Amino acid sequence: MNIDKQKIRNRNQNRSTVVCRNGIVCTSQPLASMGGVDILKAGGNAIDAAICANAILCVVEPMSCGPGGDLFAIVWIEKDKKLYGLNASGRSPYDWTLSDLQALGLTEIPTYGPLSWSVPGCVSGWDALRNRFGTAGFDTLMEAAIEYGNEGFPVTPIIARSWNQIDPHKYQFLGRTFAPHGKIPEFGEIFKNPDIARFFDIIARDGAESFYQGEIAERIVKYSQANNGRFSMRDFQDHSVDWINPVSSNYRGYDIWELPPNGQGIAALQILNIIENFDMASMASNSADQLHLFIEAKKLAYEDRAVYYSDMGFAEVPLEQLISKEYAQARAGLIDPQKASTNVTPGKLGGPSDTIYLSVADKDGNMISLIQSIYHGFGSQEVPDNLGFALQNRGHLFSPNPKDLNKLEPHKRPFNTIIPGFVTKDGQPVFSFGVMGGDFQPQGHAQVLMNIIDYGMSPQQAGEQPRVAHLESSTPTGHKMTDSGSVGFERNISEKVKRELADRGHKILSDSGVFGGYQGIWRESNPRRYYGASDSRKDGCAIGY
């Protein structure tokens, strides 16, 4: 199963693909990548290294991730020759209903503040991964994060820019934690967070139980009660993670694996299934023909996402139909190759923004694709007293419409945007990857995979290619797309292509954007080698040995 040699060598005038044999860590911040490699070199496995790297990211990239958020992972265990899926996302409070929302005079779940909370699943995800597949204790895995919290770290440039999302004066504890003395840290400045170091000390000493049964839960619930939140100890005590089976669809000979809802991973499968009906390789990458078909496929998939994606413990999601080839063929037949659609509807089926992504592989062949987030930058903007991290605002993604599958209900998982990806071929692992970026993520997955599979790009080159993002699709929160939505472009997509898309009826945004952040590890066998890619849109890197 050797990848074409030229494909591995292909590159832009940017970063080289990192190649190694013993182990590799790809993250969005170099200290996290190095921390993960340190775990590998000390004898830990890929799962240990991923937990350590994630904990470090909670310190050095706090607007994107943290113990107050959720976690999803796809894990390849070499000795089992099998993929495992983990859903460590949290649920809404028991004491939070649509009737409560209406009684408060609200027509939607607030974007920020205590009413946007769902129980954080991150720490329980670390615990589940460690207990089932890890080799090290929390005392070892939290050590580097504790050190960076206490001793500080130099803030990297892209993360420094993201830090400016907060108003240090609007949310008392957010400003106190992340903008001491009213000042947001700048690039190169040493930033310390002793509060989160003390939090990790508690996890290292008492384990995940302290987050859901003990001291941490009690402090969060007390803060909630003092700030008109809905959390109770029961919400934390009843929290659980789920080991689930990843689902897949074959794209031109490669099996693409995602996790089923409540996440949006299958939207990537739907997009790929639709565009598989067209000869994409005959069209130039990022040409008007290719981008038009991709955008139209995305619009169709996202209309289904808006209607059918929900917590499968509460709703009959027509999963098999949504990712079937027959359904995709029918949906592809709705695409006019020369005209943007303006009246996109979901299929008729039976049945009712900031994130971190990391990938790790080890000397024994184990691989993990892990994504973790607190949703918006600094999540709900609420930092429970002296814990050093923000709680996520994932509960904002419930629909206020009682007829929607994704409607707010007690102890229910909201629709979730974060999705890890994985690729196998002939039953063997090929590619662990992910693309950050909230609502954009399925679009990013599809574009990276088209670049590799249809256009023969290397893993690094595939992530560096300029991306497009279709915006304003209907959402699981009840928003409906009007007209055809709009299309944003990164730099280096030509004005000629934009004009051609406009001529087909697409609404073109004039300003350039930056869409997603990507990491990936491509695996080759006989002998085993790893080819690591890290996105230049982020501060991070791939480090292998």
Catalytic-labelled residue, pool 17, 177, 355, 417: 355
H helices, E strands: number in the chain: 20, 19
Residue 10 to residue 16: CA distance in whole angstroms:
9
Q: Find the length of the chain.
A: 545
Residue 106 to residue 523: CA distance in whole angstroms:
50
Residue 364 to residue 523: CA distance in whole angstroms:
12
Asked whether the beta carbons of 63 and 56 are under 8 A apart, the reply is no
Neighbours of 527 (CB within 10 A): 6
Radius of gyration of the chain (CA): 22
Asked whether the beta carbons of 18 and 543 are under 8 A apart, the reply is yes
Beta partners for residue 429, in sequence order:
424
Fill in the amino acid letter for 480.
K
Give how far Cα 87 sits from Cα of 51, 290, 505, 538, Å: 15, 34, 39, 25
3-state DSSP assignment of residue 293: helix
CA atoms within 13 A on the CB side of 218: 5
The widest CA-to-CA distance across the chain, in whole angstroms, is 64
Q: What is the DSSP letter of 535?
A: -
- Would you give the end-to-end CA distance of the chain in angstroms? 23
Residue 444 to residue 429: CA distance in whole angstroms:
20
Residues 396-401: contacts with CB under 8 Å, at least 24 apart: 396/109, 396/110, 396/111, 396/112, 396/116, 396/477, 397/109, 397/476, 397/477, 398/92, 398/109, 398/477, 399/476, 399/477, 399/478, 400/98, 400/101, 400/106, 400/107, 400/108, 400/109, 400/477, 400/478, 401/478
C-alpha dihedral sign at 54, 58, 63, 69: positive
Concerning whether 342 is annotated as a catalytic residue, the answer is no
Q: Is the N-terminal amide bond of 400 cis, ω within 30° of 0?
A: no
H or E element that contains 69: none
Asked whether the beta carbons of 372 and 29 are under 8 A apart, the reply is no
Read off φ and ψ for residue 90, nearest 5 degrees: -95, 175
Task: For residue 476, give both structure tokens.
Answer: 């699981």
Give catalytic residue positions: 355
